[in-house]
Structure 1
Amino acid sequence: MLELAADLVPLLDAGVPVAAVTVTRVARSAPRGVGASLAVTRDARVLGSISGGCVESDAVMLGLDVLRTGGIRRARFGFTDDGAVTPIAAGLACGGAVDVVAYRLDETMRPALEDVRAGREATLRLDLDGVPLELHHAAPPRLVILGAGEHAAALCRLGAAAGFAVTVCDGWALLVTRERFPDATELVVAAPHEYLAGLPSPDARTAVCVLTHDERLDVPALRTALRLPVGFVGAMGARATVARRAALLRGAGVTDAELSRLHSPLGLDLGGSTPEETALSVIAEIVASRNAAGARPLRELPGTRLHLIADDTAPESSCAVRSA
């Protein structure tokens, strides 16, 4: 539910009644995990999702019932433990099941929602008819883009859409504008290496991408970035540029161990050429690196073909929905 904070806080401000339906348990496999939520207003406006779409209508009806009658409602969507089939709905297409709880939002939830909307980590602890429910939302991962050209603008758009808090830094104020980067969390006019030297709280969830296209800026920025405890450092450039830049970095004192951390040329080979296609390849490489994934097509991998939340302890049975 916390992931919907940007939409839920304005509804609370306006006094709009809202119910949330939150996943509390996953059996076998499901498209989303524990904590995933869908919210619904009394006039059936729907925010978020608890599955790939296969049980959303039943979740909406559960939420509307809570808004109509009050109280707490619980249900299971998917396979039942005893194999009985109910006429309520088809279950999850992936063959699993999720337990959910539906409840009405109130003002006690506002502080956690406000924290998430502001980009801060937050934990919400609820007591739903004596059953505790804890929802945690980590601060978003950070993407630091150095350079403010067209590729940077495309990377900012896709990075924000992928859930990153995006910082764009360039020494040229004419380029670092809200009009060019409407989705950026932060805009910085500074020399890239100077900004990186004072980067607050760099960590493994921080990615730095150098797109300045100028060796006078690239080399000091990369030398600084490669010595930070960030999870990803990448730089755009053709292979000849990459080789020349590597020699310059070694000449500037960067060790081979530090240089081995550099992702350059930046991005996965998707065959694209536009700024948007290039940005997609960069985000794909960052995500693959963060998850230590091979970035191979799912159809080439053994087992399930979807990234599903799995719990193989649940028995096989008939696909159905069971309400508590």
Structure 2
Amino acid sequence: MTGFVELARAAQAARQARPQVPLALATLVQVDGSSYRQPGARMLVDAEGRVLAGAISGGCLEGDVAARAAEVCASGRAARLMYDLRADLETIWGFGAKCDGIAHLLLEPLTDWRWMAQAEAVRGRRLGGAVVTLLDSHGGGATCALLDGDPSPAKWHVLHDDARLLSLPELLPLAHSTMRTGHALLHTVADEMTVFIEPLVPAIALHCVGASRGAEAIARIAHTMGWQVTILDHRPALLDELDLPEGVMRRRVRQLEAVHSALAELPHDARSAVVLLSHIFDVDSAWMTATLPLPLGYVGVLGSRKRAGQLVEHAEGVLAARGTPLTARLRHKLYAPIGLDLGGESPASIALAAIAEIEAVMHARPAGFLRERQSPIHSRTPSPRVLERDQAPTLPEVPLRCELPEHPAE
């Protein structure tokens, strides 16, 4: 459980336990230099200085930010905070941590937590979306708008009155750019205001084929990371025997001919991964030939290099016969044998190696030792330039005025 899910549940629990204590939300909107957390990291605190959920640093800022929540809640106005991690920690805690960055945060009163549950629902639909935070010229700001789906005028929901200061013609191409790159961006708009736009990137969807102890170990680690995990097998008894965390799905696929229909009902986008663990050649082959042509981000096969080669050779023949040859682009998503070379041989070690490899692939990282990385550890891209193809249709210069639908009851 991560991100908006954790924040929304913590806010709901706090409202029920201490309804008289106001809440505040801290959002990391910019980092200069190195930082443990990246822009978009959030933390929920209350007016009594409690840290309720989330994090905006490696632990060095949380206490000070929480201590400032009372003033923000009492005034009803957000505050922007800047921490020079190279020096400020000496003042805050009495010792220098010698971090190497500057963190810029927005700390705002949280009068209605339910938009965070809605943001998580948008993310879960995997159809695109974004959260917009406005930073005004007076040192304040607010999380003010939510985009549900691809950018269009009809899909924006107002979360705060400050959203009416924004112009849709300017906001739409920015949303296009941040959703295309998957990176949050800061952009200066009229009257010295700045918008922070964070894309709602879907959680990794992991489909494990084969109800083995290896699948069980992989599912446990992936679930801890907040991934959407499904284990599929044609043997119901083995599925039922697995000891899985709550939230991991079990799905029976009755016959090989049902593989395509099963995949059609599961996420199969670039943030989806399939791992083949059945140890049954015909089963792994059927799933390989079905998954390689799909726009998945990763397909992994457990087993020896020789067996993996046999599976690829068989899949290549089947796909060629269907008129969809196994191109270099399709091969690029295939990892066989599965996993990074970590050296462990237990099911847990193999699971860790597989999950680490998927994580590296999804972040387009080489998965080497950080001590040998020459570029910055936390790589960033500059605010994406709005390309001509991202330009929104010409719209009248009007502010954002879409209304937020009724929230479900608490």
Q: TM-score range by the shorter chain?
A: 0.7 to 0.9
Match for residue 307 of structure 1? 378
> Does the 8 A contact of 1:29 with 1:310 survive in 2?
no
Q: Which amino acid aligns with 1:35?
A: G
Q: Which amino acid aligns with 1:30?
A: S
State the superposition RMSD in angstroms: 3.2
| Aligned residue among 205, 208, 230 for 1:167 | 230
Q: Where do residues 1-324 of structure 1 align in structure 2 (5 Å cutoff)?
A: 2=4, 4-12=7-15, 14=17, 15=19, 17-41=22-46, 42=48, 44-67=50-73, 70-78=76-84, 87-89=91-93, 93-107=98-112, 109-116=113-120, 119-120=124-125, 123-125=130-132, 131-133=141-143, 136-177=199-240, 180-191=243-254, 193-253=259-319, 255-257=325-327, 258-259=330-331, 261-304=333-376, 306-307=377-378
Count of aligned residue pairs for this structure pair: 307
CA separation in 2, counterparts of 1:294 and 1:259? 17
Q: Report SS of the residue matched to 1:7.
A: helix
State TM-score, norm by structure 1: 0.81
> Does the 8 A contact of 1:26 with 1:309 survive in 2?
no
CA separation in 2, counterparts of 1:200 and 1:177? 20
Q: Report SS of the residue matched to 1:144.
A: strand
Identity %: 28
Q: Report SS of the residue matched to 1:289.
A: helix
Flag structure 2 segments of 5+ consecutive residues without an equivalent.
Answer: 144-196, 383-410
Q: Report SS of the residue matched to 1:233.
A: strand
Once the two structures are TM-superposed, the CA of residue 289 in structure 1 deviates from its matched residue by 1.8
State TM-score, norm by structure 2: 0.65
> Does the 8 A contact of 2:223 with 2:245 survive in 1?
no
Q: Report SS of the residue matched to 2:351.
A: helix
CA separation in 2, counterparts of 1:275 and 1:6? 33
> Does the 8 A contact of 2:205 with 2:267 survive in 1?
no
Once the two structures are TM-superposed, the CA of residue 205 in structure 1 deviates from its matched residue by 0.9
| Deviations 1:33-57 (CA, angstroms, capped at 9, x unpaired) | 2221121233624321111122222
CA separation in 2, counterparts of 1:79 and 1:237? 46
Match for residue 394 of structure 2? none
| Deviations 1:51-110 (CA, angstroms, capped at 9, x unpaired) | 112222212212244345543232111169xx9999445677432111112122222x40
Evaluate the alpha carbon distance shift between residue 165 and residue 91 of structure 1 in structure 2; reply closer, same or farther with a 3 A threshold: farther
Flag structure 1 segments of 5+ consecutive residues without an equivalent.
Answer: 312-324
CA separation in 2, counterparts of 1:40 and 1:106? 12
CA separation in 1, counterparts of 2:198 and 2:15? 19
Q: Report SS of the residue matched to 2:239.
A: coil
CA separation in 1, counterparts of 2:89 and 2:116? 39
Q: Report SS of the residue matched to 1:30.
A: coil
Structure with the bigger percentage of helix: 2
| Deviations 1:242-278 (CA, angstroms, capped at 9, x unpaired) | 2332333234345442455421110011001121111
CA separation in 1, counterparts of 2:64 and 2:219? 36
Evaluate the alpha carbon distance shift between residue 91 and residue 117 of structure 1 in structure 2; reply closer, same or farther with a 3 A threshold: farther
Q: Could you say which structure has the greater relative contact order, defined with CA pairs below 8 angstroms and 6 or more residues apart?
A: 1
Once the two structures are TM-superposed, the CA of residue 234 in structure 1 deviates from its matched residue by 0.8
Q: Which amino acid aligns with 2:309?
A: A
Evaluate the alpha carbon distance shift between residue 293 and residue 87 of structure 1 in structure 2; reply closer, same or farther with a 3 A threshold: closer
Once the two structures are TM-superposed, the CA of residue 120 in structure 1 deviates from its matched residue by 4.2
Once the two structures are TM-superposed, the CA of residue 13 in structure 1 deviates from its matched residue by 5.0
